[in-house]
Amino acid sequence: MIFSIAGLSAAAVETASAQDFQAVFAAPDDPALNFEFARRAAAAGDLNGAAGALERVLIADPNRHSARLLYAVVLFRLDDLQGARDQLDLLDPVSLTPLQRAEATRYRASIERSRSTTRFGGSLTAGLTYEDDAAGALTTHVDSLFTPPVSEAGGAAVFTARLRAAHDLGGATGYAVFGTIGGYDRTTFDNIDGDVRRGDIEAGLSYLGRRTSWNISAVARALELLGDPYMREAGVKAQARWRTSNATSVSVSGEAVSQTFDEPTVDALVLLLGGDRDGWRYDFNVGVTHRLDARSSVGLSAGWQDKQAGYEAFGYSGPGVQARYDRSARRGQYLAVSGGVQWLDYDAPDPVFIGLTAAAREDVRSWARVAVGAPISAFTGVGATGDWRQDVGIEGALTYSARDSLAPLADYESWGAELRLTWRFGAAN
């Protein structure tokens, strides 16, 4: 954002803002002092304070175009779309730097999208991946193969697509109905067994307020492995988020879905097993996100997963934790570090597929990802273009995934690399 100030911790920003306020109170007609206070207040998330300071700046110096542009951005963040649009209209006939003009153009487009009662958006991604255990990496996340594939390095082409539509409910401020549809395709090279395709659809009701937001929806998913149908899910999910301060948000999410598996081997043994892998899966997560400064944030979440199955040995439950760190730069460059661990205890020993004397299975599944990326506009002279180049980004990443099992199943560990090109468009941008 144009008003971001790198390198200030939240505590430092609050201290500086308190000191600046005393100075502004002593000299309310000083445009430079008020402008600096507004920049710091906006970076700290105090948008109302920033708006008040910018009003004083523009009363004293109406031709300070950088202040007017910042004022438009702050009003946009405060959801005063008409006010933001009025400020941008005043900037149309004046001379701005290329970067300022690009920012003004971009926010004007965002305002027009936000003013519409019906919004469409989405993203498309194309990428290449390489893993030193391309077949085993599939098994770290999908418990699907009774005879583990031979470990083999290799690459894959990955494509994803997601489309979203939302329509505001008339007479109910903040409420909207929405729907999304998404798809994922991973096609491995060199005849490595690791092809995955999945699709999902979701529809529900959402609410967006100043400090709270939530949504509840129905979901359906389908997963295909190695060219054959494997699993279908259908159920409900809900999410809620509370902004407890200018820098901190707390979230809660849950999901309950019925799973149906297409496994001929298991289906042939149903009478012997007393059931199959079909059953309900429940997930619950609590998370917190905190902005360290104007350009960086951290997030931490913890949750519990419970999978039920007709054949008790296929059921499991256990906790999991995830963490994330994000850092951005002025031109849109970013660093994203994320990872997680999940501990799963299976409900019963599995004498059929693991062994008569084997104990109940226990898994530890872990993953990590370090990514750097930037929009194409970051590589231009001014770092912003206000056109499609700010919507298309390139990203490179290093990945790690592993599964460690107590029972005599093959453990997996795979390091990898990714290169992605992503286009975000419409209301999703």
Averaged pLDDT score across all residues of the chain: 84
End-to-end CA distance of the chain: 14
Tokens 């971009």, located at residue? 106
Which residue intervals of 181-263 are DSSP H helices?
A: none
The ranges of the chain annotated as CATH 1.25.40.10 are 10-115
For residue 240, which of 271, 208, 265, 274 has the smallest C-alpha distance? Answer: 208
What tokens appear for 276 in the block? 């199959």
| pLDDT confidence tier of residue 28, bands split at 50, 70 and 90 | low
222, with CB counted inside 10 A (0-12, 13-18, 19+), is middle
At residue 157, the pLDDT reads: 95
At residue 293, the pLDDT reads: 80
Give per-residue pLDDT as tens, 330-366.
788 999 999 999 999 999 998 888 888 888 889 999 9
Is 415's pLDDT higher than 80?
Answer: yes
Least confident of 99-108, 117-126, 141-150, 387-396: 141-150
State the average pLDDT over residues 253-268. 92
Least confident of 140-154, 239-253, 339-353, 385-399: 140-154
| pLDDT confidence tier of residue 142, bands split at 50, 70 and 90 | low
Is 251's pLDDT higher than 80?
Answer: yes
197 or 149, greater pLDDT = 197
What is the pairing mode between strands 392-405 and 412-426? antiparallel
Name the CATH code of domain 10-115 (choices 3.40.462.40, 1.25.40.10, 1.10.10.60, 1.10.940.10). Answer: 1.25.40.10
Least confident of 2-6, 35-39, 423-427: 2-6
State the average pLDDT over residues 101-124. 82
Number of other CB atoms surrounding residue 239 within 10 Å: 17
| pLDDT confidence tier of residue 26, bands split at 50, 70 and 90 | very low
Give the torsion sign (CA, 93, 95, 98, 104).
negative
State the average pLDDT over residues 236-262. 94
At residue 247, the pLDDT reads: 82
Is 12's pLDDT higher than 60?
Answer: no
Is 284's pLDDT higher than 90?
Answer: yes
State the average pLDDT over residues 308-327. 96
At residue 29, the pLDDT reads: 60
- What's the fold here for domain 119-426? Porin (2.40.160)
Rounded percentage of the chain residues whose pLDDT exceeds 90: 42
Give the torsion sign (CA, 46, 52, 55, 59).
negative
Least confident of 1-10, 141-150, 167-176, 201-210: 1-10
Pairwise CA distance, residues 21 & 245, whole Å: 19
At residue 1, the pLDDT reads: 37
**121: helix, strand or coil:** strand
Residues 6+ apart with CB under 8 A from 228: 262
What is the pairing mode between strands 118-131 and 296-307? unpaired
Is 228's pLDDT higher than 90?
Answer: no
Give per-residue pLDDT as tens, 366-375.
999 999 999 9
Is 13's pLDDT higher than 80?
Answer: no
The ranges of the chain annotated as CATH 2.40.160.40 are 119-426
The pTM of this model reads: 0.78
Rounded percentage of the chain residues whose pLDDT exceeds 70: 86
At residue 370, the pLDDT reads: 98
At residue 102, the pLDDT reads: 78
At residue 2, the pLDDT reads: 37
Least confident of 87-96, 172-181, 226-235: 87-96
At residue 324, the pLDDT reads: 98
Q: Are 185 and 171 in contact (CB under 8 A)?
A: no
Name the CA radius of gyration of the chain, rounded.
Answer: 25
Is 9's pLDDT higher than 70?
Answer: no
